């Protein structure tokens, strides 16, 4: 690839892309012509994602990042910009689920969910906003919310509240940065059988059936379903879309 071709290519950073939804989004963006940086919290798990990105002829960059740490967030952005020269798209996918009754959640557990899902997403977005505004370039942010941001579900309150915060953050930043040509959107997937979710309910047939009964399409969401929406939001086809949380839920919230 010539230097000119490299600077013409679009560039993306996807957080939490070791496996699951983030890995699928990283791969689809590489397919769509993006060079992709992914965060390296767990280097061993990332090997697969990096090879899938490269298989599409895209540049793949592994960057250390813990979204709970502001110095780590700032160092990550500097690392990506030093290597790619610019960033066109940020995908805030890193997140943790806490399944616990509200009565039992400790202050530390609450804080960890908020730090990763909400505060991490905000300060990553702030870095991206600063970069795009300083360089006078249009760009886009996609954050991963959840149907739990919209419908009430027992025993996942901290998680659902953090995801509802992401959806409102999406509206706020979209309005604040619209005049700079920055689009800010979110995707709210329904239950997706990623490795981590399979581990939490995969062997529990009663729980599976309970979840399935509420989904009109009678199947769980897949990583590919979510990545398809990310591909759309990252594309010129979505140039007039901002401030939205787009649901990928098999009709769950249409009731």
Binding site for ligand NAP (CB under 6 A): 15-16, 18-22, 39, 41-42, 45, 65-68, 93-97, 116, 144, 146, 189, 191-192, 194-197
159, 232, 240, 255: which is the annotated catalytic residue? 159
Shortest separation between residue 233's beta carbon and ligand NAP, angstroms:
14
- Nearer Cβ to ligand NAP, position 58 or 166? 166
Shortest separation between residue 96's beta carbon and ligand NAP, angstroms:
5
In contact, 223 and 185? CB cutoff 8 Å: no
- Nearer Cβ to ligand NAP, position 101 or 195? 195
Shortest separation between residue 148's beta carbon and ligand NAP, angstroms:
7
Is 232 a residue of the active site? no
Task: Provide the β-strand partners of residue 185.
Answer: 142
- Nearer Cβ to ligand NAP, position 136 or 188? 188
- Nearer Cβ to ligand NAP, position 96 or 133? 96
Shortest separation between residue 1's beta carbon and ligand NAP, angstroms:
28
Catalytic positions: 159
């Amino acid at each position: 690839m010539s230097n000119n071709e490299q600077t013409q290519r679009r560039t993306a950073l996807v957080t939490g892309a070791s496996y699951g939804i983030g890995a699928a989004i990283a791969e689809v963006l590489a397919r769509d012509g993006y060079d992709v940086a992914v965060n390296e919290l767990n280097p061993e798990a990332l090997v697969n994602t990096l090879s899938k990105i490269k298989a599409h002829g895209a540049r793949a960059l592994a960057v250390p990042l813990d979204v709970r740490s502001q110095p780590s967030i700032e160092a990550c952005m500097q690392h990506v910009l030093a290597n790619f020269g610019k960033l066109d798209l940020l995908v805030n996918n890193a997140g943790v689920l806490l399944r616990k009754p509200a009565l039992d959640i400790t202050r530390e557990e609450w804080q960890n969910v908020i730090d990763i899902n909400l505060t991490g997403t905000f300060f990553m977005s702030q870095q991206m906003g600063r970069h795009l505004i300083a360089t006078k370039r249009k760009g886009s942010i996609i954050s991963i919310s959840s149907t739990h941001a919209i419908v009430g579900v027992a025993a996942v309150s901290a998680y659902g509240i953090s995801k509802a915060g992401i959806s409102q953050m999406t509206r706020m930043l979209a309005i604040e940065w619209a005049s700079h040509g920055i689009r800010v959107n979110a995707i709210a997937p329904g239950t997706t059988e990623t490795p981590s979710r399979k581990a939490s309910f995969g062997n529990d047939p009663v729980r599976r059936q309970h979840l399935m009964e509420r989904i009109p399409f009678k199947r769980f969401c897949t990583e590919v379903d979510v990545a398809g929406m990310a591909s759309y939001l990252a594309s010129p086809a979505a140039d007039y879309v901002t401030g939205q949380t787009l649901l990928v839920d098999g009709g769950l919230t249409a009731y």
